């Protein structure tokens, strides 16, 4: 009786804390629209219409990874809820949760081949949100803004990895790319193998922008060797659009003013996101001792809207995971003795040429009055558009306490006061150097 009353009170208090007015603030980001406030409910929309995904029974022998048994009950339940048997069933699951896992996309032999060829021919870079390759490094494979060296690398990988179309590109009937196409994200922006080194520091908390991020595990990933940690709640769409909008602007007063507005917005978004995550953590800290290992009840609670505060994406080799790129995440610390590599692919809406055209259109049409006030000519705008004022993935770093901290974006040439962005991002000079790093991570 006491246990029942405790659980009832906890659930009532938790749902009161986390539920708010319909629609949240600013609206959530694509690839799929939430019909509830930010991160508070599982109901999403597919590319064309709302979908309802009934609770599914997941095979009891489905492995969560070599250390899966150590995961909390809420994470185990969530992993089962977001697992789809095949690529054909992935859109409905992704449309509901913003995450979907597909077992055995690649066979053990294919995993070994891809990893071997990436290590031999990939272009090595330091991973995003890491200071040293001794923590985490990437091996570049493909992207949409390729140099001659990168073109040669992609050509070699395609020649030596016969199943690469299924793993990364479109040219295979069992490819996962049509899932992204259906949600409005057809462009492969970046594909690389991200490797967490043994004993290295964890990655900074960040998000990858607007789009879908895909990961394929290339070794057994358990709780100890640095699985990707995801907070399964999207960042508001309005913030994503403002950040992209700012990156498209030419240097000048207007950009300074927008940077200040974005800084204030970032603070509000971060506070909301952190409080929501803390509320979920508080609730599950109370519920876990009551539930024990009752995954079925945990599923019901998650279906009701209380997602886990963080999910550690453990996986067997060859497992594909797709997640909303606006979700805050990081590559965890590898406390094992061997390297932990994954294939990471970022899919977005526009390729390099389309992004340039979008910048030019924004600068010459919708922003004409702002530009005129700032004294910016169309020629200056075009020149600025040919440069990336802000790296595509410069979105975050951990706070001193290790809590997520969405970085405030500061243009390299902005004159905004430093006080507005104190403690938020690295200097513009370091930003320029960040282009040599991998685009995101895991």
pLDDT tens digit string along 198-250? 999 999 888 888 899 999 999 999 989 999 999 998 887 777 777 776 666 66
pLDDT at 274: 87
Q: Where are the domains of the chain?
A: 2-436
Q: In angstroms, rounded to a whole number, what is the distance separating the alpha carbons of residues 164 and 279?
A: 42
* Run means of pLDDT, 10 residues per run, the chain, 442 residues: 44 41 30 31 38 32 55 95 96 96 96 97 87 91 91 96 96 94 95 95 88 96 93 81 68 67 77 90 96 96 96 96 93 94 95 78 57 46 38 35 37 37 32 52 76
pLDDT at 216: 98
pLDDT at 347: 96
Angle 73-78-83 from CA coordinates, rounded to 5°:
130
pLDDT at 354: 82
Q: Which residues pair with 323 in a beta bridge?
A: 99, 213
pLDDT at 178: 97
For the entire predicted model, the pTM comes to 0.72
pLDDT at 249: 65
Residue 433's φ and ψ, nearest 5 degrees, are -70, -20
pLDDT at 31: 32
Strand ranges for 62-172 from DSSP E: 99-102, 123-126, 136-143
- Write the pLDDT tens digit of every residue in 11-62: 444 444 333 322 332 333 333 322 223 333 343 434 433 333 333 333 333 3
pLDDT at 106: 97
**Three-class DSSP category at 52:** coil
Q: In angstroms, rounded to a whole number, what is the distance separating the alpha carbons of residues 370 and 299?
A: 50
The two beta strands, 228-234 and 212-217, are unpaired
Architecture of the structural domain at 2-436: Sandwich (2.60)
pLDDT at 33: 29
pLDDT at 437: 66
Q: In angstroms, rounded to a whole number, what is the distance separating the alpha carbons of residues 165 and 160?
A: 12
pLDDT at 363: 66
Give 348's contacts (C-beta < 8 A, 6+ positions apart). 185, 187, 189, 209, 210, 211, 325
**Three-class DSSP category at 162:** coil
Q: Which residues pair with 342 in a beta bridge?
A: 194, 217
Q: In angstroms, rounded to a whole number, what is the distance separating the alpha carbons of residues 306 and 245?
A: 32
Inter-residue long-range contacts of 59-68, CB under 8 Å, 24+ positions, other chains counted = 62/103, 63/316, 64/314, 64/315, 65/220, 65/221, 65/222, 65/223, 65/227, 65/314, 65/315, 65/316, 66/220, 66/222, 66/314, 67/222, 67/223, 67/224, 67/314, 68/222, 68/223, 68/314
Q: How many CB atoms lie within 10 A of CB 137?
A: 25
């Amino acid at each position: 009786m006491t246990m029942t009353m405790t659980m009832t009170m906890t659930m009532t208090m938790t749902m009161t804390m986390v539920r708010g007015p319909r629609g949240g603030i600013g609206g959530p980001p694509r690839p799929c629209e939430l019909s509830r406030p930010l991160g508070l409910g599982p109901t999403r929309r597919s590319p064309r219409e709302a979908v309802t995904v009934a609770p599914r029974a997941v095979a009891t022998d489905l492995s969560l990874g070599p250390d899966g048994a150590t995961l909390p009950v809420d994470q185990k339940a969530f992993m089962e809820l977001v697992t789809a048997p095949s690529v054909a069933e992935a859109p409905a699951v992704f449309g509901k949760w913003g995450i979907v896992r597909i077992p055995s996309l690649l066979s053990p032999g294919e995993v070994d081949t891809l990893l071997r060829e990436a290590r031999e021919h990939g272009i090595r870079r330091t991973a995003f949100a890491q200071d040293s390759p001794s923590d985490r490094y990437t091996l570049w494979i493909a992207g949409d803004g390729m140099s001659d060296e990168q073109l040669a690398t992609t050509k070699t990988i395609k020649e030596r990895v016969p199943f690469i179309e299924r793993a990364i590109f479109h040219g295979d009937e069992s490819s996962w790319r049509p899932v992204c196409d259906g949600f409005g994200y057809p462009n492969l922006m970046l594909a690389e193998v991200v490797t967490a080194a043994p004993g290295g520091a964890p990655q900074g908390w960040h998000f990858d922008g607007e789009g879908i991020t895909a990961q394929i595990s290339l070794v057994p990933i358990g709780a100890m060797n640095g699985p990707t940690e995801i907070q399964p709640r999207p960042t508001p769409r309005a913030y994503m659009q403002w950040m992209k909008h700012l990156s498209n602007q030419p240097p000048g007063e207007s950009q300074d003013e927008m940077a200040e507005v974005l800084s204030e917005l970032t603070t509000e978004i971060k506070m909301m996101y952190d409080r929501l995550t803390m509320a979920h953590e508080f609730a599950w800290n109370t519920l876990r001792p009551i539930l024990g290992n009752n995954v079925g009840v945990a599923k019901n609670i998650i279906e009701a809207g209380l997602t886990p505060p963080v999910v550690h994406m453990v996986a067997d080799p060859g497992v594909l995971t797709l997640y909303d790129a606006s979700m805050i995440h990081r590559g965890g610390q590898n406390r094992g003795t061997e390297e932990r590599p994954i294939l990471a692919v970022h899919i977005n809406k526009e390729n390099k040429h389309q992004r340039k055209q979008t910048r030019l259109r924004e600068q010459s049409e919708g922003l004409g009055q702002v530009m005129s006030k700032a004294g910016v000519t169309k020629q200056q705008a075009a020149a600025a558009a040919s440069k990336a004022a802000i790296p595509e993935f410069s979105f975050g770093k951990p706070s001193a306490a290790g809590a997520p901290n969405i970085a405030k974006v500061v243009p390299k040439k902005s004159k905004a006061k430093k006080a507005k962005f104190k403690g938020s991002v690295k200097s513009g000079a370091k930003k320029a150097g960040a282009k040599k790093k991998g685009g995101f991570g895991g």
